[in-house]
A and B are shown apart, each in its own frame.
Chain A
């Protein structure tokens, strides 16, 4: 097994305790930098490490932080994003359940780097067990002077609270998440920049919890060490891959960034269930393109996938076997996305149900080639939506049409789903 950084303290039955986390070097980074390093030094180190956001977009974390002006007003906020509501995505739950303090330390470090006063961890309702794990540790940390006022005598004050969501996919989007915390209807807001005007109109940094969990390690071991963890030159650190679907051992695996997709599926996840044949997978959750077997050797990092027109996304790999009807799978995905659309803009609100309708007609064998043409047009037009939700929803369909058009046309020529009754 390759070096386990983020999951080094993972146990089969319970999260690592504060003592166990400290025994593995936890909170050393905090002691090393608080009151000793300049906040901007932290940003530089994170920038040098090449760390890219693990929430899906892969934007360089250090750059995101550097948008925060030196003279930005206070209070400032950090929002660790644990919403993770996309089908196939569960790595953040595993991470919180394995090593909650790693996330907390990363959050405090992000707070220090950006001179924030408070963090609000945003967590989805089906992760109530994880919410309780995190909340349970806050009191212990305040007692140990690792949270609250004058942390470790450094003069830095910082506290963390938890925000329980009532559950909608759009809340995972940073600006919608801010609205959700503010008790407003969550919808994306592209007019304001989070580092200028985020939570309560104040400068705010929203980072995925896996991103934050990397910070203690970067600050303890250095940017070069972190870069060296990756297998590919453009990569950074290790990555959590949640593998699900038709594999023998569905689970969350930590491997170096840039590990070949084939290795993750066929070695770590135990290969195809019952010896079935691989057909396709989604590489980064439900809002990425279906990827066929010809690309199985792609290195799993942001750049390598982008080069072949795909996305790493959250690293949630959903595996389909030859027996799966991909039209039907896309129909399921579009049903999810159409239901979860926040309804703010017309292309998404109206376009996704229409795409779903076209897929349903194809699946039922009640379509002609004109339907496929319209589906293709819609999957492209949907780019005109207000935020990235709708283009994400269209991504699996684009993969379907690019690589599996024969399968789509077979539905039409046979007048039914060729996979039914197989």
Chain B
């Protein structure tokens, strides 16, 4: 269940907006932030708050890339596989000519795209261009951009995140 305080805030925001459905994405983000992902329970609560049917909200939730209907790790990695990041692979030769930043990252973490590492730290999600083409290859970690990445700097970022103390846990919006 969502905490009463959060529910109250969301209800107030929805009421103030004048058009409850206009807040659909904001409410999904808030509920997702509380549960770590948009759980079935969270989706039902969000739909009730918005005065929408669960099916209507599900239609949105499953359409958007940044709404997670399945549990994700502490850090969500949106690694750009757009054409610019795809071609800018200076220094990535060490990972083999067929490889890319996405496959390198997946190999490092031992997961496929869409999966979460067993320790619950990292989830790699498929991502369209993230809009940091001048810093290609680039990725977002919980919404924060990193780039231009090299194999070494990517390893460094992962190591840094692994060593974050629990109290500094970053929650995706």
Contacts and interface: CB of A to CB of B under 8 A. Distances in A.
Nearest to B135: A250
A87 B25 CA distance: 24
Contacts, number: 135
A340 B81 contact: no
A169 B128 contact: yes
A182 B19 CA distance: 8
Report the 5 A-B pairs with minimum CB-CB distance, sorted nearest first.
A183-B21, A166-B64, A183-B24, A87-B82, A244-B133
Interface of A: 84-90, 93, 124-129, 163-169, 180-186, 200, 242-246, 250-252, 273, 286, 316, 318, 320, 324, 329, 332-333, 335-336, 339-340, 420-421
Contact of A89 (B23, B60, B131, B135): B131
B60 A90 contact: no
A329 B86 CA distance: 8
B28 interface: yes
A214 to B, nearest CB: 21
Given A183-B22, A183-B24, A244-B136, A127 B67 contact: no
Contact of B50 (A183, A186, A200, A339): A183
Contacts of A169: 128
Contacts of A324: 87
B49 interface: no
A182 B56 CA distance: 12
Given A185-B60, A324-B87, A128 B97 contact: no
Given A87-B128, A125-B66, A244-B134, A336 B26 contact: no
A124 B131 contact: yes
Given A168-B64, A182-B22, A84 B131 contact: yes
B121 interface: no
Contacts of A86: 129
A250 B133 contact: yes
Given A183-B23, A318-B133, A333-B83, 16 more contacts: A85-B129, A87-B82, A87-B128, A126-B143, A163-B22, A168-B65, A182-B21, A183-B25, A183-B50, A183-B60, A244-B88, A245-B87, A286-B129, A324-B87, A332-B86, A420-B97
Contact of A166 (B23, B29, B131): B29
B84 A245 contact: yes
B53 to A, nearest CB: 12
A250 B147 CA distance: 13
Contacts of B81: 332, 335-336
Among B87, B132, B135, B145, residue most surrounded by chain A Cβ atoms (within 10 Å): B87
Contacts of B67: 166
Contact of A185 (B28, B59, B128, B140): B59
B11 to A, nearest CB: 16
A251 B134 CA distance: 5
A127 B135 CA distance: 14
A318 B133 CA distance: 9
B21 A184 contact: yes
Nearest to A118: B18
B97 A421 contact: yes
Interface in B5-30: 19-26, 28-29
B60 A339 contact: no
Contact of B134 (A90, A182, A184): A90
Contacts of A244: 84, 88, 133-134, 136
A273 B90 CA distance: 10
A84 B173 CA distance: 21
